[in-house]
Amino acid sequence: MENIENRKFIALDISEKNYLSWVLDVKLHLSAKKLRHTIDEDNTASNEERVTALIFLRHHIDDGQKYEYLTVENPLELWQNLNDRFEHLKAVVLPKALNDWSQLRFKDFKPVSKYNSTLFKIIS
């Protein structure tokens, strides 16, 4: 549990619930550290940059996934493996969000805060 304090954001949960927000967080943090190119195809990242990005990625995934991808030594390969595993969520989440959006009515909520909360959940 000590590692939680050092994490920049919530680690990728093995249940897939936070994959879409996790991807955005990883891209933003790698961009801020000037390491975003390490997860792009045909990158020319140095070995030091790759190792730093790999440590960052491994630090922000669930322990079960760390063991599953234990032999992966390239951040691009780890990124692609996780993408292949979880990318289907876009096909599942988007239709549900569109349905929720079409069913959303202001009159169904007593406080405005509940409406806003539901609205922002659909948008995200």
**12 — alpha (psi -120 to 50), left (phi > 0) or beta?**
beta
Measure the CA–CA gap between 17 and 4, rounded to whole angstroms: 18
CA dist., res. 58 & res. 80, Å (int): 13
Q: What is the residue extent of each domain of the chain?
A: 18-123
pLDDT per residue as tens digits for the range 11-20: 888 776 777 7
Supply the pLDDT for residue 54.
92
Does the reported pTM lie above 0.85?
no
- How far apart CA 16 and CA 20 sit, in angstroms, is 9
